[in-house]
Amino acid sequence: MTRPRLDNLDQSTFDVVVIGAGATGCASAKELAGRGYSVLLIDRGDIGAGTSSRSSRLLYCGLAYMKPDYSLWKMPLRPLDMLGRIYRAWLTMRCRTELVRAMPERLTRRKFYFPYRERKDSGYPAALMSLGFRLLSCFGSRDAPLGYRRLPFEKAGRESGLVAALRSGVKSIGAFYEYQYSWPERICVDTALEAESYGACIRTYTKATSLEKNGKGWRLLVTDSAPGGSGEARISARVVINAAGPWIDQVNSHSESGGSQREVLGVKGVNVLVKLPESFQGQGLEALSSRGEPFYIFPWGDYHFLGPTETRVDADPDDVRVSEAEIAYLLSEANAQFSDLELKPRDVIHAWCGVRPSSTRDGETLSGVIQLNEQPETPGLISVTGVMIMLHRHAGRLVARTVARRLGAGHNGKSKDKGSKRRIVNSFTKTDIDRAVRTEHVVTLSDLMQRRLPFGWDADLGKSQVEEVSRIAAEALGWSEERRQEECKVYDDYVSDHFIHR
Ligand SMILES: Cc1cc2nc3c(=O)[nH]c(=O)nc-3n(C[C@H](O)[C@H](O)[C@H](O)COP(=O)(O)OP(=O)(O)OC[C@H]3O[C@@H](n4cnc5c(N)ncnc54)[C@H](O)[C@@H]3O)c2cc1C
């Protein structure tokens, strides 16, 4: 479908307007439209261009959710907290199975290793960690097994070059499987297109700038935020889903009575891409960092990512960038794991960051907790926080149930998963690219390079492909040579601004 004109949307009414086309908003729109509600999905930028394009790309097993943030001896004194953690780990494994069944072509299974060191080095007894893995194994399935085994170090070292290179002091190794999204932005695009196939209206580069109570519903002012775009539209909605990720509080502040309460806390994460020895290829490491946080080394083609970091940030998420100190920290964590790695800043190929939209209670972040918030002074304006990409379908169902409680069941009842019309899988012929440009809401060259095609996440950040792709886009969209060159420059500027690229 082509992008609707903004003046055609003026004065229109929807059951639900979803603000934000990241993983949360796309899944919500898909679930709501599938149940028969009339839905408008808008984003101030492109589909999947916010935090959803900044993830570490792991569909992980949820071990970290079971890690208490207090002394181990207090665990028996906090049974409800521990049950909550186990529930989140169970949910993660359940969602992992769901995604592996639903979109196998978007996921890659990887062998991961967890080194059990002396307790003084990790803070956790190996037996307790191993028990956690065994519990997770019970939550797995035949389609997406954890495949956990605890192996003597020497045996694991014969099986894996990555394990063999670990620094001394490792007592044994946990070997298991994790999954990786080859392309999370495309998962958002697939989901949005599926929502569209159920009747949802999608408009990218459309910013929600004001929200007003209007009887029992809401009236939104939206403006065109496409490069060179202009115009605005007034739209009515019975319910508004605020799925604006780390920008949720900014959106709420556009409502005359909302925004008084903080609903989202930003947690900055950084990842860096490096080239590790050939013997590490295809294998990943999961460990605890010197700060006691989960630390991953995960394969990405012929390369590996290191990360992430976790730092609370209050700055505008648009202004958050990677610092050299964060790169140095991640390199030192990787070097601490291996005897001879000795990674230096010059070994970094590129680095990027994002801001997780974490749920909050009493000013603290709630790790892995999804919240649907509706403040008493803004009924029908519901914010959704804390959604990891791996939980996006679950979040969509929570949103649909909440909307059904307000509006009654949609006329289709429960949505049936028809499976998205994934037109692009792993071949990127001129015909595929041309079709994506014409039918997948492409507005800029960056939309195409980074979110309809995977080139933007290559080691060279798509620089070797941009010329050819821009020519195909120019032909399909009728861009002049001047506009094509301008799009290439904007793409280059975006990459330079958002990535550290050596
Ligand atoms: C470093 C890092 C590593 C991570 N690793 C993983 C991982 O390995 N696995 C995993 O599952 N998750 C991971 N996550 C978490 C995951 O990326 C996020 O939790 C998830 O993408 C949040 O999706 P969202 O849709 O809620 O927000 P977003 O993707 O940020 O979407 C919000 C959208 O709202 C739009 N918006 C904002 N304001 C407006 C407005 N006024 N009008 C219209 N639109 C607006 C934005 O443009 C944006 O597209 C990671 C996150 C980070 C930062």
- pLDDT single digits (tens) 18-68: 999 999 999 999 999 999 999 999 999 999 999 999 999 999 888 888 877
The CA 54 to ligand 1 mean position distance, Å, reads 7
Instruction: Put residue 166 in one of left, alpha, beta given phi > 0 → left and psi -120 to 50 → alpha.
Output: beta
Burial class (CB in 10 A: 0-12, 13-18, 19+), 374: middle
Helix, strand, coil: what percent of the chain each, to 5?
Answer: 40, 25, 35
Cis peptide upstream of residue 308 (ω within 30 degrees of 0): yes
Tokens for 120, please give them: 């003084």
- pLDDT band at residue 256 under the 50/70/90 scheme: confident
Looking at residues 146-156, what average pLDDT do you find? 96
DSSP state of 347: G
**Per-residue confidence (pLDDT) for residue 422, from 0 to 100:** 52
Q: Which of 28-42, 257-271, 345-359 has the lowest mean pLDDT?
A: 257-271
pLDDT at 80: 87
- The closest-lying atom of ligand 1 relative to the alpha carbon of residue 391 is 11
Compute the distance from residue 313 Cα to the ligand 1 centre, in Å: 15
Quickly list DSSP for 351-396: EEEEEEEEEEETTEEETT--EEE--TTSTTEEEEE---GGGHHHHH
pLDDT of 69 over the 80 cut: no
The helix/strand/coil state of 35 is coil
Chain centre to alpha carbon of residue 296: 16
pLDDT digits (tens, 9 = 90+) for 296-345: 999 999 999 999 999 999 999 999 999 999 999 999 999 999 989 999 99
The predicted pLDDT at position 1 comes to 64
Q: What is the pLDDT of residue 213?
A: 93
Q: Which atom of ligand 1 is nearest to the CA of 23?
A: 25
What is the 303 CA–ligand 1 centroid distance (Å)? 24
| Model pLDDT for residues 370-397, shown as the tens digit of each residue | 999 998 889 999 999 999 999 999 999 9
Q: Which of 173, 171, 177 is nearest to 147 (CA)?
A: 177
| Best probe residue, ligand 1, of 179, 191, 247, 295 (max atoms within 8 Å of C-beta) | 247
Name 183's Cβ contacts closer than 8 Å, sequence gap at least 6. 106, 454, 457
Following CA atoms 255, 230, 48, 105 in sequence, which dihedral angle do they give, to the nearest 10 degrees? 140
Distance CA 491, CA 495 (A): 6
Contacts of 129 (CB under 8 A, 6+ apart): 63, 114, 116, 122, 174
Residue with CA nearest ligand 1 atom 4? 55
- Domains contained in the chain, CATH given: 6-52+185-262+363-407 (3.50.50.60), 263-360 (3.30.9.10), 430-501 (no CATH)
Measured in degrees and rounded to the nearest 5, phi and psi for residue 395 equal -65, -40
Q: Where are the alpha helices (DSSP H) in 52-139?
A: 79-102, 119-122, 126-139
CA-nearest residue, atom 12 of ligand 1: 388
CA 386 – ligand 1 centroid, Å: 9
Comparing 119-123, 199-203, 277-281, 438-442, the range with the smallest average pLDDT is 119-123
Give the three-state DSSP class for 209: strand
Query: What is the average pLDDT value for the chain, to the nearest integer?
Result: 92
Residue 114 has pLDDT above 90, yes or no: yes
Q: How far is the CA of 383 from the centre of ligand 1 (A)?
A: 13
212-232 residue pLDDT tens: 999 999 999 999 999 988 999
Give nearest CA residue, ligand 1 atom 16. Answer: 388
* Ligand 1 geometric centre to CA of 92 (Å): 18
Identify the residue whose C-alpha is closest to ligand 1 atom 19.
388
Q: Which 3 state secondary structure label does DSSP give 433?
A: helix
Q: 158-172, 276-290, 417-431, 462-476: which range is least confident on average?
A: 417-431
* Ligand 1 atom closest to residue 386's alpha carbon, by position in its atom list: 19
Cα of 272 to ligand 1 centre, how many Å?
18
CA 118–ligand 1 middle distance (angstroms):
36
pLDDT of the residue at 65: 83
The best mutation among 17, 47, 52 to test binding of ligand 1, ranked by most ligand atoms within 8 Å of the C-beta, falls on 52
pTM over 0.75: yes
Q: CA–CA separation, 35 vs 238, rounded Å?
A: 16
Number of other residues whose CB lies within 10 A of the CB of residue 464: 11
The two tokens of residue 247 are 């920008």
Q: How far is the CA of 341 from the centre of ligand 1 (A)?
A: 32
% of the chain surpassing 70 pLDDT: 95
* pLDDT (mean) for 188-199: 96
Q: Who's near 462: CB < 8 A, 6+ residues apart?
A: 449, 450, 455, 456, 469, 491, 495
**Is it the case that residue 183 has pLDDT exceeding 70?**
yes
pLDDT at 501: 86
What is the per-residue pLDDT for 414? 59
Q: Whose CA is nearest to atom 41 of ligand 1?
A: 208
Looking at per-residue pLDDT, the higher value among 401 and 366 belongs to 401
- Is residue 265 within 8 A of residue 317, CB to CB? The reply is no
Give the per-residue pLDDT at 415. 57
Q: Which residue has the tokens 């990127």?
A: 428
What is the model's pLDDT at position 242? Answer: 98
CB under 6 Å to ligand 1: residues? 19-25, 42-45, 49-52, 54-58, 207-208, 243-247, 251, 269, 271, 308, 354-357, 387-390
pLDDT at 384: 98
Mean pLDDT, residues 147-168 taken together: 96
pLDDT at 136: 94
pLDDT for 363: 87
Inter-residue contact 248 to 390 (CB < 8 Å): no
Each residue of 434-452: pLDDT tens digit? 889 999 999 999 999 999 9
- Amino acid 467: pLDDT: 95
Q: Which residue has a Cα nearest atom 48 of ligand 1? A: 50
Q: For residue 209, which of 357, 11, 447, 42 has the smallest C-alpha distance?
A: 42
215 CB burial (10 A radius; 0-12, 13-18, 19+): exposed
> Which residue's alpha carbon is at the smallest distance from atom 1 of ligand 1?
269
